[in-house]
Structures are given as C-alpha cells and as structure tokens.
Chains A and B, each alone.
Chain A
Amino acid sequence: MNLHGNQYAVFTWTPETAGLPGPAATSFTSLLPNIVAGYSDAPGYTINENQAPLLGLAEYDKAQFIKGRREAVLQNTLFLGNANLLRYGLRSSNLNSVPGELQPIAVGAGVQGEGSHFMVGRHALMREFNLSFGGIGTPVPARFEFWPTFTDFSLGPPTFSDTAIGIIGGEVLTWADCQLTINGANHRALVNTASVTVTNDLVRVGMRRDNGDNNDLSRTPQLVYARATNIALEFSLFDRLPSSLRNSALNSTTWANVVFRATKANEGFVLTINEAVLESHSQGTGSVGEMMKFSANAPGRNATLAII
C-alpha cells in the first residue's frame, strides 16, 4: 500500500481522435490524456459493476450474483482560470465533426510518484457542468461530471511540472473579476450568488459482451449518447428583481440573454445563455439578524462559451 496526498493527484484530458471500438471488439488502441485542465481538486471516479443478486426458491441465501453493465462516472471541480475543458459540455462549441454533437474525450485520473496509478475514461461525454458565481473570497468553481464509455487501467500517469500547471491554469478568476448583464443591462450589484448548470441528458445504450473482468471493454455500453440539453440559471439576490425583468412589459419574463463575463489580465471566458425565461422568483423567509433574501430561477434555451 502507498499513501497519497491529494497534491500528487493527476487530472488530464485529450479529445478522442478515432471512433469507438466496434460492437464486438475485444481490444482497443490506448490513448494517453496528456492535457492538464488547470487548477483542480483531485478527481473522483466510480465504476459500477451493477452486480445483482439472484434469488430463487428453496434458498434463503442468494443463489448467485449476476454481473451487470459496467458503468463509469468521473467527477471533479476546476477553479477557473482556464475554462477550455467546459467547452466540451456544450454542443454549441462545435468541437465534433458532426455539428451539434458533443465531442467525446479521454479523461485521466490518478496519482503520480511512488505507487502511481492511472485510470483513463475513454470516449467520455460531459454529462453536466455547473459554474458558481458570487462566492466571496473563492475562485469561480466549475463542477463537472463525465460518463466514459469504458475505462483503461493499463497506462501510467503523464507527468507535469507544477510550473506548467500554473501556466495552463491561467489567472484565477473571482467574483471581483466578473460582470453580469441581463438583456444587456448591468445587474451585478443585485446578485449575491448565481449558478449556471448545463445538463446533457446522457443515456448508456446497450451492453458489450462479457470477455472477462480483465477485459476493459467487457459489459460496457455500446456507446454513451446525448439526448436533450437543459440549462438552469439560479440566482440568489440581495433585492427583488427589477420590474423590467418581471412585469413591466408584455414579455418581461422572457430575457434575451444572460451574459457572465469573467476576465483578468485579458484572460478568461464569456458564458452566454441565450433566451432565458423567468420561471420563479421569491422572497425567502428569514429571522432578524439576517439580510433579506430573494431568489429567481430561469431555464435557458442554449448556451455558448467563449474563451478569451
């Protein structure tokens, strides 16, 4: 056994350049994710074997266990900085040769140094990412989740200097570096916190045959497929929404766009939610000794992310 501090953890990615292994394939070409995402936590991953007990008559013990579909999930949090990876969660980024489709990537999670190990999630799609704005004294965190089609444990981790990671990570972006406009008007001062969640409705399709637990393709999905995309905006506010965003005009609740622009030293990103509609707005209960709280929720139609 080796003990590992999280400072030695590795999280890397690279776009997939070839198609999925065929439905009957028992092997695949390895791909080493060698791009560092920036400043991040140690990634977490789960591989669910979906073992199911088989119960039968005349036996109070389980008759046996049946192996199910091998399903992998990888999650992590980036601290922006560098938002490049998040483009893979948006079809509007047009990173795939098929317009409107998500680009599959390989994501790597492991640890460097003595007792190093590495897991590569292959042909992974980004199921969700969430950006939180407004936290005082914290960088803008981006939480995300990938669904790999299958995993590969055969490779060792790539190595990077901390200097290289610091360069890729870029300028740290905090709420003080952000501006927020709704319908082109500055509403930053109204916002306590804002959250944008982009969810791609992924589905695992089919299951490959079992070639043994020692085969990485065994019992994995034929593919991971993206269905509809949902975009959710949540605002925690210092005051109620201005009437221009509620009820002063015929279609006040239909907002043309919500734009988050986070830049420092000419580095950063612009996240634009096009066509958001006010779904609910509320004044929260609270006790004396607290500031009054207001909130608003607004689903969006589509989103774009521009890297600056």
Chain B
Amino acid sequence: MATTFRSGHEGFFAFGVEGTNLLPDAQQWFGLSGLGATPLPVMAFAGFSSAPQFTTNENTSIQRGIGSYRGYRFYKGRREHAVSCQLTLGNPSLLAYALRSGAFTSPTIGGLKPLSVAGGAVNTHDAISQFSWIGRHALINTVKFSVAEGQVFTADVEFWPLALVRNGPLFGRPTVESLETALLTAGRSVFTWHACEVTINGVSRRDIVRKVGINVSNSLERVGQRPDFGDDEPLSRCALQNYPLQEEVQFEFELSDKLPDNLVSSVTDATLWDRVVLTMTAPYTDSNGGSHQHWIYLTLGKAALNQYTMAQSGPQDVMKFSSSGPGLGVTLTYQSQ
C-alpha cells in the first residue's frame, strides 16, 4: 500500500449517544460478538477540536518457561482502547456526558451514558486517503477544563471505548466546504478568558485568578474480559464493561496575588468553600444570522482548599501564587438566548 499523507485539517471528530448498553450477559461464546446488533447511533460533530488520538493496547505477552532463554510463544491479553482529544469550547454538548450529574435516561453504565466517538480523515481531494475509526460504547474517563488569561476555554477529554471499529463509515464523505460549515455550526462561538467570571463563595475573584483548571475523573475500571472471537471481531478480548467508580474532582488556580484571608484563615472553616463557579459567556450567531448570547456554568457545589503556594521566582519575574483542592458535586450547565 502506498503511503498516504494526511493533514490535520482533513481530520474530524464526531460523537453519538449509544442506544443500548452492551450487557455482559449478551455475549455468547460462539457466534457473533454482539456489536453488530447495536447499530451506530446518529453522529454529530463535536465542534472545534484537535485531531483525536486513539490507542489500542493488545497487552500481548511472551510465554516463557524453563528450557529456553528465549520466549516460547506470544499470547494476547485484554484489548484496551483509549481515545483522547482537546476540544475548544464552544459547544459543550459532548462534555455533558462527562458528568454523572447529567442524570441521563437509561441506558447508562453506572450513571454515565455510553457514546460512540469517531475520528479519521475526510480528504475530498484524494478519496484514497479518507478513513474513519469508531470507538463504540465509550465512557468519558477524565476531562480537564482549562482557561487562562488570553486563552480560550478548552477541555482535554479521555474516552475509554469498549471496542474500536477500525473501518467505519465516513459520514457522507462531506466536501471541504460542507465539513467546514458543519464544524463552524457545531463549534459555535468559543469562550475566552475575557468573557469569563470566577466566583468563590459567591464573590468574584477574577482580579487575582490567572488560570483555572477543573479536572474530573470518573475512575473507570475495566472489568473482566470477553472471549477471543478473533482479531477481526471488535469485541474480542475486550473488557466485559468499563465501569465508573468514584468521581474525583480537583480544582487548580494560578493566582496573581495571595488568596484573601477569608478563603484561608480568617474564620474557623475558611478553607471549606461553599461554591466555585466558572461562568463563560460569548456572543452566539445562529444559522439565520441572529445575534444571541450563550453561557456555560461550571460549578463545584463544595470545594476545599488543600494546598496554596507562593512560587519561587527571580527578581525580574512577577510573583506567582497558586491553590488547589478537591471539589464535590460538579455540574455543567449550558444556556443560550
């Protein structure tokens, strides 16, 4: 096969919500893997993003034994997939599925909605180069929200698909123009630092906050292993299910000054904060040219100051401070008007 070169601008990232849950009992020893019985959901572009990355670990090992300094044979292990990408928000509809507070309707897996996530290239100039892969029944393992002075609002997302279909559909093989239009529509207007508000205990702290990071982990665990139906079957040797355990939330602030005393030490429970709210707003133009606004509210119901520092710096540098800690009850709300 001739080498094909592809540029990131030909790439795409799309997602859809799975309509069923691949229950462990659904798989049988003989016969099809069961994936064929769960049709691909309606896919939508996620918005502005990097070209997504997928990693498949076959966990192949060497069987060793006495009688040889070499290994005897290889054997296959559990097939483990991960997909990651960075979204520039915009459109947070995908990230709603990162949080169990979304209270999704059935089917869910431990409160999270299984998704399909797809990536690839849709080069209209050279049809040979186009391709697509789809991670099926994926849950979001981690998401890292980040915004900083002069920066756009981003989210680094890692998915754990149960299975990966290497040769998926190309979503209608859009032209460059239609893909661009579709992504512009899906991406909406991005949120930037200059339209960001950070409040702690209901009081704006934008004056001292230079960068905000809110990290959420769903602590996914791969449970069990399905039979080996053959390397050509996407469900071969993969986990029975990826299951979310505890939700871990962590906030990180980079600060231009030390934290005010009432968030550190002026009262008995100064380090136990009520709420941390990150509010982003941006103008929003609909498909008819109408002018609107849209907002994202990322809220920690509770937060606790765990660590705060003043960084060592040189005489020519601006002094830097930071703080971090765990959070409880993270919610993501999106509004537009």
Contacts and interface: CB of A to CB of B under 8 A. Distances in A.
Contact of B63 (A7, A36, A172, A189): A172
A41 B72 CA distance: 13
B66 A137 contact: no
B211 interface: no
Interface residues of B, number: 36
Nearest to A264: B228
Interface string A132-176: 000011110000000000000000000010100110010110111
A5 B61 CA distance: 21
A165 B75 contact: no
A9 interface: yes
B226 A176 contact: yes
Contacts, number: 108
19 contacts: A7-B64, A7-B66, A41-B65, A162-B67, A165-B65, A165-B67, A166-B68, A169-B63, A172-B63, A174-B76, A174-B77, A175-B225, A177-B227, A178-B227, A179-B29, A188-B227, A192-B224, A238-B24, A291-B221
A39 B237 contact: no
Interface stretch (B83-91, B174-182, B240-248): B240-248
B223 interface: yes
Nearest to A239: B24
Interface of B: 24-25, 27-29, 59, 61, 63-70, 72-78, 219, 221, 223-228, 236-237, 240, 243, 245-246
A192 B27 CA distance: 15
A178 B75 CA distance: 14
A291 B78 contact: no
B154 to A, nearest CB: 28
Given A9-B67, A40-B65, A189 B224 contact: yes
Contact of B240 (A43, A160, A177, A189): A189
Contacts of B72: 39, 162, 165-166, 169, 172
A83 to B, nearest CB: 15
A190 to B, nearest CB: 8
B21 to A, nearest CB: 13
Interface string A27-58: 00000000010111111000000000000000
A136 B80 CA distance: 12
A217 interface: no
Majority secondary structure, A binding face = mixed
Contacts of A176: 76, 78, 225-228, 236-237
Contact of B75 (A112, A172, A189): A172
A11 to B, nearest CB: 6
For the complex of A and B, the 6 pairs showing the least CB-CB separation, nearest first, are A162-B68, A39-B65, A189-B24, A9-B66, A172-B75, A137-B77
Given A176-B226, A176-B237, A188-B29, A41 B63 contact: no
Contact of B66 (A40, A136, A289): A40
A38 B68 CA distance: 12
B245 A79 contact: no
B76 A7 contact: no
A280 interface: no
A131 interface: no
A288 B221 CA distance: 13
B67 A7 contact: yes
Contacts of B28: 186
Given A7-B68, A8-B67, 10 more contacts: A41-B65, A41-B66, A136-B225, A169-B65, A176-B76, A177-B228, A186-B28, A189-B240, A238-B24, A291-B245
Contacts of B73: 166, 169, 171-172
A240 B63 CA distance: 34
